[in-house]
Amino acid sequence: SAAAALSDVIPAPVTVQPAAGVTYTLPSGASVYTAPGSSAAAAVGTYLAALLRRSTGYAVPVADAPAGTPTSGISLLLTGADASVGAEGYQLDVTAATVVIRAQTAAGLFHGVQTLRQLLPAQVEAATVQSVAWTVAGGRIIDYPRYAYRGAMLDTARHFFPVATVKAYLDQLALYKINYLHLHLSDDQGWRIVVDSWSRLATYGGSTQVGGGAGGYYTKAQYSDIVAYAASRQITIVPEIDMPGHTNAALASYAELNCNGVAPALYTGTDVGFSTLCTSKAVTYTFVQNVLSELAALTPGPYLHIGGDEASATTPAQYSTFMNQVQPMVTNLGKSVMGWHQITGANASAGRVMQFWGTGTTDAAVVSAAAAGAKVVMSPANKAYLDMKYNTSTPLGLSWAGYIEVQTAYEWNPGAYLANLPAASVLGVEAPMWSETLTTLDNIEFMAFPRLPALAELGWSPWSTHNWTAFKTRLGAQGPRWTIMGIDFYRSTQVPWA
């Protein structure tokens, strides 16, 4: 396929300066050079080299960059970037002789590498050696994200997904500069992470799933493997223990957690709102403290997500009592609270983030919590929920929040979506994928593509570049890449597929 133009990239870069008539062609002897003395830069270089070796068949050695201006190959440098790139951005310069990516951090270099991938022919994504001219259009890109939080969520509770599936999804998120993956690790239908001090949570609470299948859970080693793999893709894991509602798996595992001292049966349906931890029992808070402590010890990221949605079996007074005791547990562990926006029903805690999942554009409680310092991650269910059907003929997914075709997923402004919410209170966006109807990576891909790149662009690109007509053409050009990568995407009739 023809080499992409600099302006074809998704998410749309901040500034693109094509150099007419200039093309870089990767020579078979090309090296990847990385910032001397930086193991983080070398790791990004090795990541890029591995991709290139696989599809070009070239050796692509990785070495410390020699002093001075690069004269050949691909250089990943931590000096000389335009000051505007900040913590996650990059500057990409392509001439006839060299490709140079400059950034202030390894994350910036990694994001520049994702852009470079899209500028190379789609065959670069192949798992076998391809014989094409490995060309890159000449010019300069200076790029950096609009929002610091650009997330996706995977519900591993309704249906369990093995580590390999999570890693595959992480690889796909990295393509579009997503930098957070929120793992929904517990719900009514399953508990998916080992807690040593409450071991039945995983062994019994994780033993089934929606539909009655075998379920499963992550050992601590497996969770740490996911965390490390995500970090190697510049993605931070946000673990969620949903409470006080959505807790049947825990309640089924330990009778003492129930107000009546009786453990309910394991649940394999898809109803919501019927369970609650017993907010009046002391043991409940010992339980929560133990769970959060063990989870925090495994989680280098800044957030613990404590859920808080649909606590219909918990009175508002019980809810606020519970949340007002639990939030300090999170902050005392050195983490910040993230929660579904119903946590506005409890006191503020330093640095907390509300995840808005409503289907409306007004929420006075969110606005007042923001006025008190809380930040908001935007996940409106009728825009950002990847488990919503595209349309009435979509075989997978739900439709309670409405149908979400690609244009619907794209045509909204996270910074001006909730009435009276200051733009500065918006930390970013997140695309949740609930798994009541999803069981395989194929299912995940079908629901995520092509809407995830739309949400990724909302999280990264300046609002000034937002334009559906231009975006849908850029999106169509990604199709051949997804086909080569084996991504089972939905061929939306709204998109002119290349």
Ligand X SMILES: CC1=[NH+][C@H]2[C@@H](O1)O[C@H](CO)[C@@H](O)[C@@H]2O
Catalytic residues: 310
Contact yes or no for 272/310 (Cβ under 8 A): yes
Edge-first strand listing for the sheet containing 32-34: 15-25, 135-143, 90-94, 98-102, 73-77, 32-34, 62-64
Residues making contact with ligand X (CB under 6 A): 272, 309-310, 340, 357, 385, 387, 398, 434, 436
Distance CA 352, CA 337 (A): 5
**Which residues neighbour 221 within 8 Å (Cβ) at sequence distance 6 or greater?**
none
- How big is the chain, counted in residues? 498
**Least Å from the CB of residue 400 to ligand X:** 6
Task: Output the residue with the shortest Cβ distance to ligand X.
Answer: 434
Task: Identify the sign of the CA torsion 444, 449, 455, 461.
Answer: positive
Distance CA 239, CA 35 (A): 33
**Least Å from the CB of residue 158 to ligand X:** 7
Of the pair 114, 379, the CB lying nearest ligand X is at 379
Distance CA 206, CA 317 (A): 30
**Least Å from the CB of residue 396 to ligand X:** 12
Give whole-number Cα distances, 351 to 316, 332, 354, in Å.
23, 12, 10
Of the pair 163, 398, the CB lying nearest ligand X is at 398
Of the pair 32, 241, the CB lying nearest ligand X is at 241
**Least Å from the CB of residue 339 to ligand X:** 10
Of the pair 117, 182, the CB lying nearest ligand X is at 182
Of the pair 434, 460, the CB lying nearest ligand X is at 434
**The two structure tokens encoding residue 119:** 């500028």
Distance CA 99, CA 97 (A): 7
What's the DSSP call for residue 3? Answer: P
DSSP reduced 3-state for 321: helix
DSSP reduced 3-state for 374: coil
Of the pair 447, 475, the CB lying nearest ligand X is at 447
**Least Å from the CB of residue 358 to ligand X:** 10
What backbone torsions phi and psi does residue 496 show, to the nearest 5 degrees? -80, 90
Of the pair 112, 397, the CB lying nearest ligand X is at 397
Considering only CA atoms, which of 477, 342, 478, 457 is closest in space to residue 411? 457
**Least Å from the CB of residue 385 to ligand X:** 5
**Least Å from the CB of residue 192 to ligand X:** 14
Task: Identify the sign of the CA torsion 310, 314, 317, 321.
Answer: negative
Considering only CA atoms, which of 185, 192, 197 is closest in space to residue 208? 192
**Least Å from the CB of residue 436 to ligand X:** 6
Of the pair 203, 399, the CB lying nearest ligand X is at 399
Give whole-number Cα distances, 254 to 159, 176, 184, 315, in Å.
21, 41, 20, 22
